[in-house]
Structure 1
């Protein structure tokens, strides 16, 4: 009997405040979507770091005519300097840090790679092999030991510059982290809006049913029985918004990331739709907590029992 009464009160409240209910659902949906998007970005960053950090190389670029570093003061790299660099790479002081054999890329090979990467650029036909440096590409046993390689080779005659490809990845990850922070900032603003809207909805619902609650007090209804329908109204709206947010994130990860981005960039590690599903329980729980806390605080002020 008590359960039937609570359910009837919930249904009555939802019908009376249908427009406000829809508003709560939409605001909760938008706010939790941004929360989930921030979570997806962090998962993608972790995925890419784990995938790429073991594959990035250190590039040791050799001197050309246009090189300005002190080690290139004598001009382009000579055959003797090139051989000295090969010997140093194979030396006992360097070899433990290197995984596999160093790869030598000539200027002609560098030009071929440049044309492949910038095939649609108008400058591709104006670049010659002589303008591009030859290099040695090495994989590290421990990518964190880049500074050791840099210190050893940066001042060697014939070496122009030593570049860790992780630096380029860090720039990409920095942009993604900024995007994640922006998503979190927007989510916080939207969550505040959702909390205020839930509180307003509960307040209006309590005001419109003040006669019923007064009668319930007189007949000795408990505090829980009186307040529970109001709390559940907010929780139901928040749960619907959380489910919609979870569905949206799954659709984005499945169709946009899984079926389009993964096809366009097959050599990049992207998160799967399964990982997006893992966020759903957290989003629903967050929605329930926000709705429950805001409802209870509002009822304590506007519904004295």
Structure 2
């Protein structure tokens, strides 16, 4: 049970309440934003809570135990506070959010109603809707390693051990022709074979998407020029002349780790784990019954 500050308790007991809700949001890039459903901006604790955002929220679903509490908020896509480009760029993904009940006459009279993070976000032409998840949501995330055939390390991390900053695993290019918001041709990658950058990371260095990161779906080499398709469309348009850096990709299989990267000793999967075909197999007569290992 929450304990109300004396001033807020008196306001509620008076019968003529002057309450509003405020939302303090910290994006992935640590930019702090404030919103309120009051009809005027409020300022406290050094944060301006803007009324022009059109923020509204559903009731808060809270329960005892470790169930994930939540609510849904909606708002307008307006100027520098909330806009389509920032949402599409993922700046609000997993953003930290705090919901407060505030007496707008005396903002010091307030209480935290809810704290959590932003989950699934859907966007329309002029508004957005976001799912807000409680702090217990973090307890639902997988922890530890999975027993699986594929590698669970990321290419270039400490568990993998490959230095992808070297020239063999890192390239830079410039867009020469744009097909759509996720497909284009580029120069500067002629020395790399087809598929080398598939599943790799592409970082835009110039242009409207500068600083944005996207995973490469397909990398091909056609007539001496790289053809790249990204997994998702970029938030802003790709233009001829945009420069980018890209790192090699890995499909996390034992064969790729051993043959392409020569890194079999650091493979973080279980490539010889028996599958369903082994479970359903049965004894038979013929060749291959010499007691040797089944693969490798």
Which structure shows the bigger proportion of residues in strand conformation?
2
Greater RCO (Cα-Cα under 8 Å, separation 6 or more) = 1
Which structure shows the bigger proportion of residues in helix conformation?
1
- Asked if these proteins are the same fold (TM beyond 0.5), I'd say no
Q: TM-score, normalised by structure 1?
A: 0.23
Q: TM-score, normalised by structure 2?
A: 0.24
Higher Cα radius of gyration: 1
